[in-house]
Amino acid sequence: MNDCVFCKIIKGEIPSEKLYEDDLMVVIKDICPKAEKHYLAIPKKHFKLLSEMTAQDAVDLGNCMKKAGELAETLGLQNGFRLIINQGEDADQTVFHLHMHLLGGQKLQETDYKNKD
């Protein structure tokens, strides 16, 4: 997508501190953190919603989730983290490129995270 901010980050058109990158995804710090540690795991393939995924996209997203778990200690999330995927306007998704929020680095309460991208 030409106007997608995450696609531009993936392509290197918008600078970001990539904490991890492989063939399937990048992990960056969220610019508006909602917890002590707040990262975005962004699949490199652009699709907006879970309902738009192909079977292969689902496999790839599963691999991204597995990698997020493997990166937990490196990212300072060894005591646990919350993984959130906002879907659609009612969930307050503001960037329509599917991505996962990883929040942690502190004891999280139910109200600690307001659904914001």
Q: Which of 38, 46, 97, 99 is catalytic?
A: 99
Query: Exposure of 85 by Cβ count < 10 A (0-12 exposed, 13-18 middle, 19+ buried)?
Result: middle
Q: How far apart are CA 51 and CA 71, in angstroms?
A: 27
Q: Reduced to 3 states, what is the DSSP secondary structure of residue 72?
A: coil
Tell me if residue 46 is catalytic: no
Classify the C-alpha dihedral 52-102-65-15 as positive or negative.
positive
Catalytic residue positions, numbered: 99
